[in-house]
Structure 1
Amino acid sequence: MTLAQLEAFVAAATGQTFTAAAVTLGMTQPAVSDLIRRLETEFGTSLFNRSGRSLVLTAAGEQLLPYAEQTVFSAKQGTEAVNALLSLGGGTATFGLLRNAEFYIRQDLAKRFRQKHPDVRIRLVGQNSAETVSDVVNGHLEAGLVTLPVDDDRLDVLPLARDEVVYVSASPERAKTPPSIKAICSTSLILYDAHYAQTDPARKQLSARAQLEGLSLNASIEVEYLSAALSLAADGFGDTIACRAAIESEVLPRGLHTVSLAEPMYDTLALIKRHGQLLSPATKEMARLAHAALIDHQTSDHGTAAILDGGHDIEAFLEEAR
């Protein structure tokens, strides 16, 4: 028994002739007759009485009809659901963001996406890049915008832009000279993203530099949010670090001074997805919007990040199962 046979049977029962069923299905009358004949052969009984001008269901046909109608209807619903997903008339966009994404994008992605695709559900998730990486690797999210480095060979990574990370202090003297990693390790340091500790990409960069010098990176104060770290620094409780995008935003309290590190350090923003994964149309569209918003803002007068070579090659990244 095939779906095509059941569709022919339902159409014939509804139209009461093979000719009417053929018109409904866009087939020839002999093709419809053949489908129903094969179905009857499979059951070993007739489904229609063919003696008059109109088809009349037999007892077996009466029994089959409601189940056939349900099957045909369910198949139609399934087809419509898949087509809606592929045409962005349905489905779910699942996308992860780094915590400070608003400094780089400056647009409400959820709002922009919903305005373009009102029938698609949105799951926009993210605190720290480490969390987004974990969710993409584990399949909880399809893709995301994160800060590098990420240590996972199960990911495809497309670096997009890089933004300098600077030293921040309330002391003009401490912000006069670019600090070495030794100076950073010896100061009263305030670090944010406390929940993620050594998995935070920026902290991993500093820790790696300290380790090369035989030093340890130890914060005197750890908080969860950058705004809290900057506020504590402004009150003189220690120094911190921040990306230039944050420094240029409204979160920077008055009285703080910034300077580049002696060995310049950068946050590199990148799109990630699981290696070889084909993204859903909804998530592809969300990734495109995030990419476009990033490029638009960073190439404006207010952008602080430099677009990297290859940062525009998003379509190949999204389409390929590499």
Structure 2
Amino acid sequence: MTLQQLQYFLAAIEHGTFSAAADALYLAQPSLSEQVRRLEAELGVALFVRAGRRLVLTEAGRTLRPEAERTLAAAARAAESVADVRELRAGTATFGTFGDAPPWLIGNIAAAFRRRHPDVRLRVVGLNSSEVADEVREGRIEAGLVVLPIDDAGLDVRPAMEDELVYVSADPARVARPVAIEQLAEVPLILYDARWGWEDPTRRALFQRAQRAGVRLEAAIEVEEVSNALDLAARGLGDTVISASISLRRGALPSALGYASFDEPLNETFAFIARRDAPVSPATRELIALAERQLADMQERREAARVENARRRSTS
């Protein structure tokens, strides 16, 4: 039994003939009458008898009628119940981000979303990229922005942009020129995402570069937050490595610190992830679109800052 069959059954009652019902629904008469016959076959009873040119309900048809009306009404209410979510008038947009996503990025995304959709709740969860991948895979978060590499089992992964990793130090001599990975093995190193250690994507990029160079990196200090790593570096307790999108953003880097690229540029990739073959709600799709625009803006600003930085060094 289908909703379509019940709709055709009620239309036949309303219009008195299969032909009139089919005309009202813009259908071919054989299509409508065939579906009613299939409904009768499934139920094992006749629903109509003919009285002249008109259809008359049997006892079974009269019994089915109120149930069919209630069923179609319930289906209509079910569709209407999600209309607010579909049209972004209600619901919750859920999104995960890598833990060191800069506050201005999250703030810009959240502000733009709330201006457009003030009645939709917003839930942005900051985690390590590996945790974001697990949460999306398990269905607890609809989508996320991560730093690659991650375990992509069961996930759709769509790279969004690359960001350069830069070396940060309070010692001007250490950032006066591009840095070799070997330098990191010779200084006290401050690393964040302590709980994930070398499973963190940024650390993995450093580890792979160091391994190819035949050197071993060890953290002198480990903390959870990028802001803590920068504070400790500004105190002269060691050097750290962060993404250029953070260090080149005006005001994000403490005045005591400088930065330099690696002699062979070292990049990390940002990517959007969602559960494979699972629909994403309209609200979360809108959130992803806003995040994409913010990343594009971030990349443009980064490139402009890089050009300006190179100009200043060439004239100094």
Determine the structure 2 residue equivalent to 1:268.
269
Q: Which AA in structure 2 matches 1:71?
A: T
Determine the structure 2 residue equivalent to 1:230.
230
List aligned pairs for 1:49-198, cutoff 5 A: 60-80=60-80, 93-102=93-102, 105=105, 107-117=107-117, 122-150=122-150, 152=152, 155-198=155-198
Kindly indicate whether the alpha-carbon contact (under 8 Å) linking 1:47 and 1:58 is maintained by their aligned counterparts in 2. yes
Give the direction of change, closer, same or farther, for the CA distance of 1:265–1:18 in structure 2 (3 Å limit).
same
Residue 124 of structure 2 aligns to a residue whose secondary structure is strand
Give the direction of change, closer, same or farther, for the CA distance of 1:187–1:64 in structure 2 (3 Å limit).
same
Map Cα deviations across residues 166-208 of structure 1 (whole Å, 9 max, x no partner): 2222223333354432321232111111122112121111111
Determine the structure 2 residue equivalent to 1:317.
none
Residue 186 of structure 1 aligns to a residue whose secondary structure is coil
Q: Which AA in structure 2 matches 1:167?
A: Y
Structure 1 window deviating more from structure 2 (90-99 vs 46-55): it is 46-55
1:250 and 2:251 equivalent?
yes
> Hey, what's the Cα distance between the residues in 1 that align with 2:116 and 2:38?
47
Gaps of 5+ in 1: 307-322
> Hey, what's the Cα distance between the residues in 2 that align with 1:4 and 1:274?
32
> Hey, what's the Cα distance between the residues in 1 that align with 2:33 and 2:214?
84
- Cα displacement (A) at 1:143: 3.6
- Cα displacement (A) at 1:238: 1.7
Kindly indicate whether the alpha-carbon contact (under 8 Å) linking 2:7 and 2:72 is maintained by their aligned counterparts in 1. yes
> Hey, what's the Cα distance between the residues in 1 that align with 2:41 and 2:131?
59
Kindly indicate whether the alpha-carbon contact (under 8 Å) linking 1:106 and 1:297 is maintained by their aligned counterparts in 2. no
> Hey, what's the Cα distance between the residues in 2 that align with 1:61 and 1:68?
10
Map Cα deviations across residues 75-106 of structure 1 (whole Å, 9 max, x no partner): 33445567776666677654332234346846
Map Cα deviations across residues 43-99 of structure 1 (whole Å, 9 max, x no partner): 565657987999987654453333222321233344556777666667765433223
- Cα displacement (A) at 1:272: 3.5
> Hey, what's the Cα distance between the residues in 1 that align with 2:175 and 2:28?
86
Kindly indicate whether the alpha-carbon contact (under 8 Å) linking 2:205 and 2:268 is maintained by their aligned counterparts in 1. no
- Cα displacement (A) at 1:127: 1.9
Relative to the length of structure 1, the TM-score reads 0.72
> Hey, what's the Cα distance between the residues in 2 that align with 1:136 and 1:258?
34
Q: Which AA in structure 2 matches 1:22?
A: A
Q: Which AA in structure 2 matches 1:131?
A: E
- Cα displacement (A) at 1:228: 0.8
Structure 1 window deviating more from structure 2 (173-182 vs 206-215): it is 173-182
1:295 and 2:296 equivalent?
yes
Gaps of 5+ in 2: 308-316
> Hey, what's the Cα distance between the residues in 1 that align with 2:147 and 2:42?
61
Residue 255 of structure 2 aligns to a residue whose secondary structure is coil
> Hey, what's the Cα distance between the residues in 1 that align with 2:144 and 2:110?
14
Q: Which AA in structure 2 matches 1:255?
A: A
Q: Which AA in structure 2 matches 1:272?
A: I
Determine the structure 2 residue equivalent to 1:219.
219
Give the direction of change, closer, same or farther, for the CA distance of 1:225–1:303 in structure 2 (3 Å limit).
farther
- Cα displacement (A) at 1:111: 4.0
> Hey, what's the Cα distance between the residues in 1 that align with 2:294 and 2:63?
58
Determine the structure 1 residue equivalent to 2:241.
241
Structure 1 window deviating more from structure 2 (225-234 vs 215-224): it is 215-224
Q: Which AA in structure 2 matches 1:265?
A: L
Structure 1 window deviating more from structure 2 (201-210 vs 246-255): it is 246-255
Kindly indicate whether the alpha-carbon contact (under 8 Å) linking 2:165 and 2:243 is maintained by their aligned counterparts in 1. yes
Give the direction of change, closer, same or farther, for the CA distance of 1:141–1:79 in structure 2 (3 Å limit).
same
Identity rate of aligned residues, in percent? 43
> Hey, what's the Cα distance between the residues in 1 that align with 2:255 and 2:265?
24
Residue 63 of structure 1 aligns to a residue whose secondary structure is helix
Q: Which AA in structure 1 matches 2:239?
A: D
Kindly indicate whether the alpha-carbon contact (under 8 Å) linking 1:104 and 1:245 is maintained by their aligned counterparts in 2. no
Kindly indicate whether the alpha-carbon contact (under 8 Å) linking 2:102 and 2:246 is maintained by their aligned counterparts in 1. no
Q: Which AA in structure 1 matches 2:245?
A: A
Kindly indicate whether the alpha-carbon contact (under 8 Å) linking 2:245 and 2:299 is maintained by their aligned counterparts in 1. no
